[in-house]
Amino acid sequence: MNDENKTIFCGKSIGINKAPLIVAEIGFNHNGNVDLACKMIKSAAQSGADIVKLQTFIGSELISKKIKAQDPDSPNQEIYLHEFFQRYQLPRKDYETIFKYARELEIPVFSTPFDAGSLDMLVELGMPAIKVASCDLTHLPFLRQVGQAGLPIVLSTGMGTNEEIETALKAIRYKGNENVILLHCVSNYPSQHHEMNLACLKEMEMRFKVPIGLSDHTADNLSAIVAASLGAVMIEKHFTIDRKLPGVDQKISMEPSELAALKKATLEVQTILGDGRKKVQDSEESVKKSARRSLVARIDIEAQTVLTSEMFSLKRPGSGIPPTDLERVLGQKAKIRILAEEVVTWDMIL
């Protein structure tokens, strides 16, 4: 990514003086149902998302088949965890349906693959970018495969150190792929405000010299709005159409009204930030004339009188000679008679 002002991600420009792209992270909130996935994509698009993201995995490739735990969907039952993830897998034909539907809606959709097979499938289906989850920040063989795909990459950095991020970037760039966005992330669900450390966004940008965004797991929009004010080019938050739906991520996901509010707020942040050049606003001109000070005669001053500092006070309004020009006035002569308390203007001075 070269000139920040010309950087394109999924057909959308990012960089300086642009509001961050809002990525609605559906993940596997679709619960393995392609119709629900499409419904969520449509809702996200209507609510202001710029891009939608999913998660793509093969349960048996994601976690050891020997690992058992409490079933997240049935708290009183123990299962093998790979079986839990298998519930939420979508087959290739469903991704074909999703990508076709997203094109009809004209909203980009990309995904986080968690294995080489999922990565290959998504690339074959024409996915426009690749997301790498924080958990795979140190999965160097997979990062090399991701980089070799040649697509733009979004890399989350939750749980990561600067050294791990540097190593991950080297792996991605192994075959020359420089198209990377880093997302600061706190891998706690939900994350707490005191953990966010958003001041690191600027430090990450300077250190890694790539666009920086935020993968936000907090329960509200405040951190995302702050990140937008700090120059984040992308804000990713979990999204669902209803937090009451079954599924482990539903409760930490924003609903359509919250997504719409986030989009509106980030656009307002960009408006508030402006172009960064200090200037007098048009609305200030009338205030400037009334609130600033001018030279005001302390006494009656006769025409041809040599002007001295004792003859003036500095009072509102600002429609006369400004205080900054007092030295230019001293030693000059009054052109006409100036009455006490009269605002002094240049046409009164010889």
Question: How close are the terminal C-alpha atoms of the chain, in Å?
Answer: 62
Q: Where exactly are the structural domains of the chain?
A: 12-273, 284-348
Q: What is the pLDDT of residue 301?
A: 98
Q: Name the nearest CA neighbour of 198 among 180, 219, 212, 181.
A: 212
Q: What is the pLDDT of residue 4?
A: 43
Phi then psi for 7, rounded to 5 degrees?
Answer: -70, 130
Cα 326 from chain centroid? 48
Which residues, including other chains, have CB under 8 Å from residue 95's CB and lie 6 or more apart?
56, 111, 121, 122, 125
CATH of 12-273, picked from 3.40.50.2300, 3.30.930.10, 3.20.20.70, 3.40.50.300, is: 3.20.20.70
* Single-letter code of the amino acid located at 321: I
- Give the closest residue to 63 by CA, choosing from 114, 117, 17, 6: 114
Closest CA to 56 of 130, 107, 128: 130
pTM to 2 decimal places: 0.91
Residue 104 to residue 289: CA distance in whole angstroms: 55
* CATH code linked to domain 284-348: 3.90.1210.10
User: What CA–CA distance (Å, rounded) separates 213 from 227?
Assistant: 8
Spatial separation of the C-alpha atoms in residues 335 and 164, rounded to whole Å: 76
48 by Cβ neighbours in 10 Å (0-12 / 13-18 / 19+) ranks as: middle
Predicted local distance difference test score (pLDDT) of residue 76: 87
Please give the helix or strand (H or E) that residue 181 lies within, else none.
strand 180-185
Pairing of strands 109-113, 51-56: parallel
User: Quick one: how far is CA 9 from the chain centroid?
Assistant: 14
User: According to the model, what pLDDT value does residue 1 have?
Assistant: 41
Q: H helices of 211-349, where?
A: 222-229, 256-273, 284-291, 326-329
* 3-class DSSP state of 63: coil
Cis peptide before 317 (omega within 30 of 0): yes
Answer yes or no: are the C-beta atoms of 221 and 262 closer than 8 Å: yes
Residue 6 confidence (pLDDT) = 57
Q: CA-CA distance, 348 to 350, in Å (whole number)?
A: 7
Tokens encoding 121? 């499938």
One digit per residue, pLDDT tens: the chain, 350 residues? 444 445 899 999 998 889 999 999 999 999 999 999 999 999 999 999 999 999 999 999 999 999 999 998 888 899 999 999 999 999 999 999 999 999 999 999 999 999 999 999 999 999 999 999 999 999 999 999 999 999 999 999 999 999 999 999 999 999 999 999 999 999 999 999 999 999 999 999 999 999 999 999 999 999 999 999 999 999 999 999 999 999 999 999 999 999 999 999 999 999 999 989 999 999 999 999 999 999 999 999 999 999 999 999 999 999 999 999 999 999 999 999 999 999 999 999 99
